[in-house]
Structure 1
Amino acid sequence: MGAAACAVTLAWLAALCVFDVTERRLPNWLTVPGAVAILAGATLAGQGAPATAGAAALFALYLTVHLLCPTAMGAGDVKLAAGVGALTGAFGVDVWVLAALAAPILTASWSIVEVARRGESAVPHGPSMCLATAAAVSLAVI
């Protein structure tokens, strides 16, 4: 991943975090183009198949949770799962698994802190997805 692609990806992840924390939603205009760009970039880099598999697998997992319990996970998280699943999938199954497992752990940890601090248990999941993705990919790149 080149420096420019890395910078754009980090800016996209940061924008998603800020938007989800402030607005408590992830808009289509941020999630969908990001997923398409990542899939296109991965394809051009020769990693289209693993990126597509990663996107499909994480999207399916998040969609299942959303359908079973819509209050637990929003539709924006499901759409974001396609983008971050593609990004991590392009770097390998181990990176995908690390990010997929770390995101809910981060959200649960954040919720525990918020309950203790303010009595608020509902926190957005998008920032955890973005942070877990950035951390997992960083470990693969280093």
Structure 2
Amino acid sequence: MGIVVGLWAVAIGVFDAATARIPNWMVLLGLAAAVLTLAVQGHGILGASPLSCGLGFVVGGLLPLAGYAAGMLGAGDVKFAAALGALLGLPGVLWALLASALVLGVSSLSYLLRIRLGRQALRRRIPAGPALAIGALFVLFDGPAIVFA
């Protein structure tokens, strides 16, 4: 199931990179899968407890709100992070958000350098969907285990 979640996250990341928006229906697919899995199996898609998935949903939605309030993230980014929390559970979404923040930091530095060199026009925000997808892949393919191995 991790591959399916990864493909879903990558699809959202690619869509956001291409259009600078994340459609609600794409996020709802992941959230529906998380809720249905919890209802049928009694645990999350990746084996997380219902409590962990619920807390992951809440924390995944709350942590990006500061970026949304500052105008740096869109509402779709916040909803995507919350859905990732429901799918990955609390520890998974925390790792995914940390990895995403690192990817966005590097992307921002690269973007600023390109503006300084005159190779790119100024945009309001950098799409966060691709970074969130990379963060999800980091978790799905045992990124934290690699870090502490």
- TM-score of the superposition, structure 1-length normalised? 0.80
Give matches, 1:6-85, under 5 Å.
Answer: 6-43=2-39, 44-46=41-43, 47-66=49-68, 68-69=69-70, 71-85=71-85
Over the aligned positions, Cα root-mean-square deviation in angstroms equals 2.3
Residues 64 and 133 (structure 1), Cα distance of their counterparts in 2 relative to 1, 3 Å cut: same
Q: Which runs of 5+ in 2 are unaligned?
A: 44-48
Give matches, 1:59-138, under 5 Å.
Answer: 59-66=61-68, 68-69=69-70, 71-89=71-89, 93=91, 95-117=92-114, 118-119=119-120, 120=122, 122-138=125-141
Counterpart Cα distance in 2 of 1:51 and 1:40? 12
Length, aligned pairs only: 133
Q: Which runs of 5+ in 1 are unaligned?
A: none
Residues 109 and 140 (structure 1), Cα distance of their counterparts in 2 relative to 1, 3 Å cut: closer
User: Which residue identity does 2:76 align to in structure 1?
Assistant: G
Structure possessing the higher radius of gyration over alpha carbons: 2
What is the Cα deviation at residue 65 of structure 1? Answer: 3.5
**Whose helix fraction is larger, Structure 1's or Structure 2's?**
1
Identity of aligned residues (%): 27
What is the Cα deviation at residue 60 of structure 1? Answer: 1.7
SS state at 2:80 partner: helix
